[in-house]
Amino acid sequence: MCLGIPVRIKKIMGEKALAESDGIQKEINLVFVPEAREGDYVLLHAGFAIQVINEEEAMKTLKILREIAEAEK
């Protein structure tokens, strides 16, 4: 099973981008989503953006992931 984490693209640099989620910034690869633009949310898996998603879906997914992390404490 794969888990894609929603991240927001802050800056695009060719096929790479600077993305952020919960204050953590990371350089990611956009080769699979050339349509992605700054400000878009994408699902991140193994350093690659694999799908552009809307903000509502990103927020729902992040909320669920936070709830899971909190429950494991």
pLDDT band at 3 (very low <50, low <70, confident <90, very high): confident
Q: Does domain 5-71 have CATH number 2.30.30.140?
A: yes
Q: What is the pLDDT of residue 61?
A: 94
| Helix, strand, coil in percent for the chain, rounding step 5 | 25, 45, 35
DSSP assignment, residue 37?
A: -
Domain residue limits, the chain: 5-71
Q: What is the pLDDT of residue 1?
A: 60
pTM over 0.85: yes
pLDDT 10s digits, 11-66: 999 999 999 998 999 999 999 999 999 999 999 999 999 999 999 999 999 999 99
